Structure 1
C-alpha cells in the first residue's frame, strides 16, 4: 500500500485529501450537532448534487463548462443554498426548521431534472455520489487544502463566539456578539466543507462524516474540547481505514467510510453502556456496604 501510495499521484491526492477532510468535517460537525443543525448538512449536500449534475449537463452543451471542474459549481451551489437557508430561517422565524426541507427538496428536484436531461455521464456522477479514490485530482487536493485553511482559521479566531452561540445564544447576544454575521459565515463554511468532501466521501454520504464521529465522541468525552478531539480521531480513523479498504476491495470509499463510522459509534455506545452499568454497580455496592 505504501509503495502504491508513493507511486500513483491519484492515491497521494486521495489520501492527503482524506486526511484533511477527516479533520475539518468532524471539527465543524461538532458545532453543527451542538446547535441542532445536523440536517443542514444533508440539505446542502443535495444542493451540491444539483450543482454537480448541472455542471455535467452544461459541459455537454457549452464549451466553457466542458473545461470547468464540476466541483466549482457544486461548491457554488452549496454556498448559495446555505445563504437561502439563512434567508428562509429569517422569514419563518417561528418555524425555522422549514428552511431545511425546502432547500433539500429544491436540490433534489434540480438534480433530478439535470440528470434526466443529461446522457453519458453516469460513471462520473456515481463517483460524485459515493466518492472515488481514483477521481481525486491534484486540483481537488488544492481546493481541499484551501478550504481547510479557511475552516481552521475561522474556528480558531471565532472559537469563543461559536461556543457561546452554540450553548447560550442569549448570553452571546447580551455580550455583543454579532450572531447573525457569524451564523452566515458558519453556514458558508459548512457548504465549503461539503464541497471539499464530496470527491472522497460522496455527496449523499458527506453529512454522515460530519455527524456520526461526533455522535460517537459525545458518548465518551467529558468536555467540549474532549468531544472535539474524539470527533477528529474517529473521523480520521474512518477515513483512512475506509480509503485503504476501498482501494484493496475496489469499492466506493464513501460507503466504506460511513460503515466504519457506524462501527465506531456502536463501539462507543457499547463502551458507554458497560461503563454506566459498572458505575451503577459500584454505587449500589457502596450503598449496601454502608447499610
Structure 2
C-alpha cells in the first residue's frame, strides 16, 4: 500500500481527507444538536453555484464556492429570522436555487462539460490541486478557531435558543456564525466526497457516536475518530477497488454507524454503573452572558 502514497495527487488527497475527517464531524455535532442536519445539504447545493462561478470566471472553484456558500448561509438565517418562512422552507429555497444556479452557470462556462460538474457533485481526488490544499487548510483553521473560541456558546445555543438568550448570549450572531462555519465545512469536504454527500460526513459519524455516548464532548471526539477512519480507509479502498472515493467514504461511515448501533444495543443490556449521578458527562452550565 505504500506505493499508493508516492503519487502526488494521492498525497494531496490524503491531506484533504484528514482535514475533512477532522472538521466535518465537529460542526456536524452542533448541527445535529440543533436539529439542523439538513443544513449541510442546502449549503452544498449553494456551493455548486460557487463552483460553477469559479469555472465560468476561470478562478479557483474552491474559493468562489467558499464565498458563495457563506453568502448563502447568511441569507438563510436572514430569511428564517426576518420573514415568516420556516427553516425547512428556507432550506428548500437553498436546495433549488443552488442547484439551478450551478447548472445554469456551468452551461455558460466555455470548455466546461458534465464531467466538470460531476467531479464536484460526487468528489474526485484527482482534481485536488496544491492551491486547493492551501485554501482548504486555511478554511479548516478558520473553522477550528471558531469552535475553540465560541464552542461553549454554540453548545448552549444548540441546546436551547431561549436559554441562550436568557443568559445574554448574542443568539443571532451565534446562529449566523454556526451557519457560516457549516458553509466553510461543506467547502472543505466537497472535493473529496462531493457537494451532494459532504453533509453525510457531517451527520453520519455524529449519529454513530451518539449510539455510544450521551456526553457532548465524548460524542464529538468519537465522531471525529469515526470521520477520520472513514476518510483514511476510504481513499485506499476506493483506489484499489476502482470505486468512487466519496461514495466509498460515506458507505464506510454508514458501516461504522451499524457497528455502533450494535455496540450500543449490547451496552444497554449491561447494568449501568453511576446511573443517577446528576450532570455526569455533560457540558458545563451557564452563567450570565457566558458559559462556565
Q: Same fold (TM over 0.5)?
A: yes
Closer, same or farther: CA 173–93 of 1 in aligned 2, 3 Å:
farther
Aligned equivalents of 2:168, 2:112: Cα separation in 1: 54
Return the match for 2:258 from 260, 263, 266: 266
Q: TM-score, normalised by structure 1?
A: 0.88
Secondary structure of 2:127's partner? coil
The answer for the alignment partner of 1:206 in structure 2 is: 198
Match of 1:47 in 2: 46
Q: Which moved more, 1:92-101 or 1:176-185?
A: 92-101
Q: TM-score, normalised by structure 2?
A: 0.87
Q: Which residue of 2 aligns with 1:188?
A: 180
Where does structure 1 lack aligned partners over 5 or more consecutive residues? 59-64, 281-291
Q: Hey, what does 2:36 align to over in structure 1? A: 37
Q: Within the alignment, does 1:216 sit opposite 2:215 as a pair?
A: no
Q: Distance in 2 between matches of 1:185 and 1:105?
A: 23
Q: Which residue of 1 aligns with 2:139?
A: 147
Q: 2:4 corresponds to which residue?
A: 4
Per the alignment, residue 96 of structure 1 pairs with 87
The CA deviation at 1:117 is 4.4
Determine the C-alpha separation between the residues in 2 that align with 1:274 and 1:185: 38
Write the distance in 2 (CA, Å) between the matches of 1:197 and 1:136: 11
- TM-superposed deviation, 1:145: 1.2
Q: Is the counterpart of residue 14 in structure 1 residue 6 in structure 2?
A: no
Alpha-carbon distance between aligned partners in 2 of 1:120 and 1:70, rounded to the nearest angstrom: 12
Matches for 1:68-217 after TM superposition, within 5 Å: 68-93=59-84, 95-117=86-108, 120-217=112-209
Alignment check: 8 A CA contact 1:47 1:107 kept: yes
Larger fraction in helix: 1
**What per-residue deviation string (whole Å, max 9, x for no partner) do you get for residues 184-205 of structure 1?**
1221111111111111111111
CA–CA distance in structure 1, aligned partners of residues 100 and 119 of structure 2: 20
Q: Write the distance in 2 (CA, Å) between the matches of 1:199 and 1:124.
A: 12
Q: Secondary structure at the match of 1:204?
A: coil
Structure 1 residue 208: deviation in Å? 0.3
Largest Rg, 1 or 2: 1
